[in-house]
Amino acid sequence: MDLSELAAALRQTGCPADQAPEMARQLDKRARQLMAERRLTREQALAHLLGLMAQGWAARSDSNSPDPSSMIQPWKRVSTRPGGDFRIFSARWDRRLSPRTGQEHEFIVLDSLNWVNIVAVTPEDQIVMVEQYRQGTETVELEIPGGLLDSAQESPVDAGLRELREETGYAAESARVLCEQFPNPAFMSNRCYTVLALNCALRHPLEWDHGEDLMTRLVPAVEIPSLVASGQIRHSIIVAALYHFDLWRRQSPAQ
């Protein structure tokens, strides 16, 4: 099955026609990985992946016209009151109405500027990481550079490159947003952006804040999964960022 035939098969599963060629290339690449990982033939790998794609498109089609009675409804906010300003975030108490029971409940919400972290890759395929002491857990953690956006006007890419420069002295030839996530939607209102920076090199002096004490480490990208699995990288937001980086590497034609 060549790529054009694979694209046609994808269209039959429900894949939009304009997305089928690119999806076919990605599926072909993933099939080759499965062949090596599970010792499958190409036909077996493609059949497995096409089956998963068919299930996914079917589920998406079903979700486009759900039964309104089965949908989760927003909780109407009845009132809100401030809970305090704590420098890096402010707290508020929201009273909301349960759409299921009609009863009011009070919830605490933390508001903060958005966050950013940056996966910085060198030409040698190393990730620019930092070790630092974390006050909450009283542990030294291996992380990627990151911090707060300085303002609502600062872009995630500019903020990520600034944090990379200030914490490590590294700069990138190119950068873009890799993903956008909610740190904890249960009680936090902000977002965390992960920036992907390529061809990074040491070009600037360090610009640490008074409360920072960091050590830069260059970690081969191939070692990241084992560091996560062994618990040497355990900051949950960093793990999520590195997962998106791993997805990007698997899908990138250059890899």
| CATH numeric code, 115-251 | 3.90.79.10
CB atoms within 10 A of CB 197: 24
pLDDT of amino acid 221? 96
* Amino acid identity at 149: L
Tracing tokens 């089928």 back to the chain, one arrives at 20
Closest among 164, 165, 129 to 144, alpha carbons compared = 129
- In this structure, are residues 217 and 120 in contact, taking their beta carbons and an 8 Å threshold? no
Low-confidence stretches of the chain (pLDDT < 70) are 59-70, 253-255
CA distance 195 to 200: 13
CA distance 145 to 128: 8
The tens digit of pLDDT for each residue in 88-134 reads 999 999 999 999 889 999 999 999 999 999 999 999 999 999 999 99
pLDDT of amino acid 94? 98
- Hey, what are 27's tokens? 């599926």
pLDDT of amino acid 255? 47
Tell me where in the chain the CATH 3.90.79.10 domain(s) lie. 115-251
